A and B are shown apart, each in its own frame.
Chain A
Amino acid sequence: MDTLISNLSLGLSVALGLQNLALAFLGCLVGTLIGVLPGVGPVATIAMLLPITFSLDPTGALIMLAGIYYGAQYGGSTTAILVNIPGEATSVVTALDGHAMARRGRAGAALGIAALGSFFAGTVATILIAAMGAPLTRVALLFGPSEYFALMIMGLVFAVVLAGGSLLKAVAMIMLGLLLSTVGTDLETGDQRMTFGQPFLWDGIDFAVLAMGVFGVSEILRNLGQSEDRDVVRGAISRLLPNRKELRQSVAPVVRGTLLGSAFGILPGNGAILAPFASYAVEKKLAKDPSRFGKGAIEGVAGPESANNAGAQTSFIPLLTLGIPANAVMALMVGAMTIHGIIPGPQVMTGNPSLFWGMIASMWIGNLMLLIINLPLVGLWVRLLKVPYRLLFPAILVFCCIGIYSINSQPTDVLLIGLFGSLGFLLIRFGFEPAPMLLGFVLGKLMEENLRRALILSRGSLSTFVTEPISAGLLAVSVILLVIALVPNIRKGRDKVFSE
């Protein structure tokens, strides 16, 4: 405990230096900016800013880059709530109830609870990293291909719980998402799968392209036909920030989300993306009235947002202690570290304590800054929604086009958001929900990869998934969750049969 306090105070003394404080603020500001611009992701921006950091000292450079990362994470939720465009896989869930809240005139409450929940989650996760970072390193090594595959199966079960409508349709959407994730060059054989001979499909479909299409563009297409409800957000906004009742409803989901997020974030290989989905599924199951979900339940924003942020923080554990980046942004951070002559890994903590603890302390500072930057902005964002829709939607559309183009400089990506926009529009017409499809898509690649790897390692024996204890445990939990999710559905189905 004493070492924890002395470590944290060393960290704070580094992070509270005037220059580092300014860099953290700058990073969070830039991050928030690129987060709210749909499509422009942290990867592209951090890569552009890398040369600027050459002239900074390593600690300052990393503090700034980390600020961009949190800022972008949080900014992505802002667009999800305001205009239903999830910028990151982790904000898909936020779009569900967050945007529904915005339509009911509670955008301010949704944004506010997202900021407060994230700050709480960030604080807890920072302490967790400081206290348990080193021992938690071992957890990552327990997860191999079969464990990851089992984890992904659990994720698919969350997707089933997530869906509001018909079970058959939800499962069909998950399958469609999984199928879309297999488009592109096969890692193992180099075969081109379902690419129609087009090189721009060789690398598969970009998440941002799919999400922007089926959420953002299809939302615009849908709104064009419904003149009566699209200006709903212009209705009276009673109170900008969450009221007492909403705050009370959010406390427990925030705590649960923080715990779930911290746990998933520790897993390398992007385990953190599951956290918000898990949190949403849990909140929906625990709610007295699950039917509120999808229509603007504040628990559906508070829980997943906290989980998202906690996961974003704890995913630094595998990076800092094991040198293993959990996702593309983390991989860039490794690049930044190596440029400055620091090789991430177990020695950083002992060999360069001021950098290590300075960065951990700056995580908390970064979260505080996000709160300071974003709470005043809530008013601005909400006012933005008062712009008449006839002017708002062309602006959103052009931002989407520019953003998506800037990711890879590929005009074909822009064409694809049009294509997926029409697809999403049709799917909604036919009564399907796009959210389970996106989750299927996100999990699909990881699932296939790990399934194949696990089977190569076991030389073709399927029993590997049940003989490995962790994988067996995860699969058992998945089955139990599935049963819990299905039972009310089956009963409801039966009731319907009886009532006919």
Chain B
Amino acid sequence: MSKFSRRIFMAGVAASFALASGSAQAADWPQRPVTVVVPQAAGNSPDVLCRIITDKLSRALGQQFIVENKAGAANVVGMQSVARATNDGYTFVFATSAALVTNPYTIKALSYDPIKDFVPVAMVAKSHHVLLVNPKVKANNLAELIALEKQAPGSLSLAVDGPRNISGLIAQAINKDAGTKMVLVPYNTISNAVQDTISGRTPVTIQSASVVEPFIKDGSLRPIAVAGNQRIASLPDVPAISETLKSVELQGWFMIMAPAGTPAAIVETMSKAVAKAIAEPDVLERAPTLGFEMEKGDNTTPAGAKSFLAAQYAYTGQILKELGVEPN
């Protein structure tokens, strides 16, 4: 069955259900438990954030919001399942920036379309990455690090969590903009990467701000720059990369989405509930320890989230093209 005819079929199934149960009107939504798919493994920080939010939603909307982890294949498993789910307003996805704007450029024949298969509900949070060095490295800021590298090109090793993950892409962008040749060393566990930077084997690393906070505090790692074009609240003294190099605005973020064709009124109700949930004081208090900055304002509306997604999609595509990243 082609994708199009499958969608018609699904819509038919959904419609017959709606008739049978006589519900699915936004006014009395939700009538039964709502599923929120997390395309990541249970227990890592996006999952924890999603559970905090769904906990609030369950209370606010009076129905249980169930988190379902469908991890695997770089978010593809979970995204694909929601792209094909019934669009009756009882399935949502807690999508990552990797799933929405990186995968289309790195995975050949991606089985879902981040723009056409989904409708944005609300932007939820951004995560921040920091460039850090071992304290023995004789560089106090990004300019000095670049100068140090240029004295002996290819001598510095940089620990990242995979060349196509956000930290790896930031590293490649720095190398390209600054003309440096730092060697990327991929680690699939954050802990080993941090450990090897503390011991000095990989003098430089790029990590999520929350992960490295204790090591910055006790002096075993020194922050050099914050990824993006502005400083962050938890590290006010650390300059943004854009203060030294052409702005690299690559960052991680999370957005709640619904399958395309979900009734607009339900999307609207959900969006308002999410915006309210992520503005609650205890959520705002917990977010920084998980490494997130909660979203507020226009991006939390469906229209705002849509234009944010479109801009990020185009921007990431352009950066990856400049870096010469090919899908495989």
Q: With contacts A202-B74, A324-B191, A457-B185 known, is A190 near B214, CB below 8 A?
A: no
Q: Which of B13-60 contact A (CB under 8 A)?
A: 41-45, 47-48, 51-52, 55
Q: Is A323 a contact of B199 with CB atoms below 8 Å?
A: no
Cβ–Cβ contact B328 & A187, under 8 A? no
CA of A51 to CA of B43 in the docked complex: distance in angstroms? Answer: 10
> In residues 177-199 of chain A, which contact B (Cβ within 8 Å)?
185, 187-192, 199
Cβ-defined partner of B214 (8 Å) among A144, A202, A326, A345? A345
Across-interface contacts of B72 in A (CB, < 8 A): 199-200, 202-203, 408, 410
With a CB–CB cut-off of 8 A, which chain A residues contact B44?
A: 331, 335
Residues from 39 to 72 in A contacting B, C-beta threshold 8 Å: 43-44, 46-48, 50-51, 54
Closest-CB distance, A120 to chain B (whole angstroms): 29
The residues of A that contact B196 with a CB separation of less than 8 Å are: 144-145
For A409, give its contact among B45, B68, B188, B199 (CB under 8 Å): B68
A269:B192 contact, CB within 8 angstroms:
yes
Is A344 engaged at the interface, CB distance under 8 Å to the other chain? yes
Minimum distance in angstroms from B287 CB to a CB of chain A: 11
CA distance A409 to B78 in the complex (A): 10
CB distance from B235 to the nearest CB of A (A): 14
Are the CB atoms of A141 and B163 closer together than 8 Å? no
Q: Mark A328-356, 1 if CB is under 8 A from B, else 0.
A: 10011001001101011111000000000
| A199 B76 Cβ-Cβ under 8 A | yes
Q: Given that A343-B213, A345-B218, A346-B214 are known contacts, is A409 also in contact with B194, CB under 8 Å in the complex?
A: no
**Size category, B interface:** 35 or more
B6 interfacial by beta-carbon distance below 8 Å: no
Please report the C-alpha to C-alpha distance between residue A50 and residue B45 in the assembled complex, in whole angstroms.
12
Whether the pair B185, A141 counts as a contact (CB closer than 8 A) is no
A192 / chain B contacts, CB cutoff of 8 Å: 328
Across chains A and B, the number of contacting residue pairs, with CB separation under 8 Å, is 136
Determine how close the nearest CB of chain A comes to the CB of B285; give it in whole angstroms. Answer: 8
Contact B186 A185 (CB under 8 A): no
In the complex where A202-B73, A268-B195, A338-B290 touch, is A188 in contact with B42 (Cβ < 8 A)?
Answer: no
By beta carbon, the residue of chain B nearest A342 is: B289
Interchain CB contact under 8 A, B183 and A456: yes
Say whether A105 faces chain B, with CB atoms less than 8 Å apart.
no
Closest partner residue, chain B, to A323 (CB atom): B214
Inter-chain contact A453/B189, CB cutoff 8 Å: no
Alpha-carbon distance between A341 and B263 when the two chains are bound, in angstroms: 38
Nearest CB on B from A322, distance (A): 7
In the complex, A326 Cα to B192 Cα: how many Å? 9
A47, A48, A144: the one within 8 Å of B199 (CB): A144
B194 and A324 form a contact (CB under 8 A): yes
Q: Are the CB atoms of B214 and A269 closer together than 8 Å?
A: no
* Contact, CB under 8 Å: B188 / A187: yes
On whether A51 and B286 interact (CB within 8 A), knowing A339-B48, A456-B157, the answer reads no
Contact of A449 with B by CB under 8 A: yes
The residue in chain A whose Cβ has the minimal distance to the Cβ of B214 is: A345
Asked whether B43 lies within 8 Å of A343 as measured between CB atoms, the reply is no
Known: A325-B191, A347-B214. A199 touches B186 (CB 8 A): no
B116 within 8 A of A: no
Distance in Å from the Cβ of B159 to the closest Cβ of chain A? 9
Give A185 to B328 CA distance when docked, in angstroms.
10
Given contacts A187-B188, A199-B76, A268-B195, contact A54 B70 (CB under 8 A): no
Check: A140 CB closer than 8 A to any chain B CB: yes
The chain B residues found within 8 Å of chain A, CB to CB, are: 41-45, 47-48, 51-52, 55, 68-74, 76-77, 80, 106, 111, 154, 157, 162-164, 183, 185-189, 191-192, 194-196, 198-199, 201-202, 210, 213-215, 217-218, 286, 289-290, 328
Besides A191-B328, A199-B72, A343-B213, 4 new A-B residue pairs in contact (Cβ under 8 A), listed by A number: A199-B80, A203-B72, A338-B289, A341-B289
Cβ contacts A to B, 26 pairs, < 8 Å: A47-B43, A47-B47, A50-B43, A50-B48, A141-B198, A142-B199, A188-B186, A190-B106, A199-B111, A200-B77, A323-B214, A324-B192, A325-B191, A328-B43, A335-B43, A338-B48, A338-B290, A343-B213, A343-B289, A345-B218, A408-B71, A409-B70, A410-B77, A456-B185, A457-B201, A457-B202
Give me the interface of A with B, judged by CB distance under 8 Å.
Answer: 43-44, 46-48, 50-51, 54, 140-142, 144-145, 185, 187-192, 199-200, 202-203, 268-269, 318, 322-326, 328, 331-332, 335, 338-339, 341, 343-347, 408-410, 449, 453, 456-457, 459
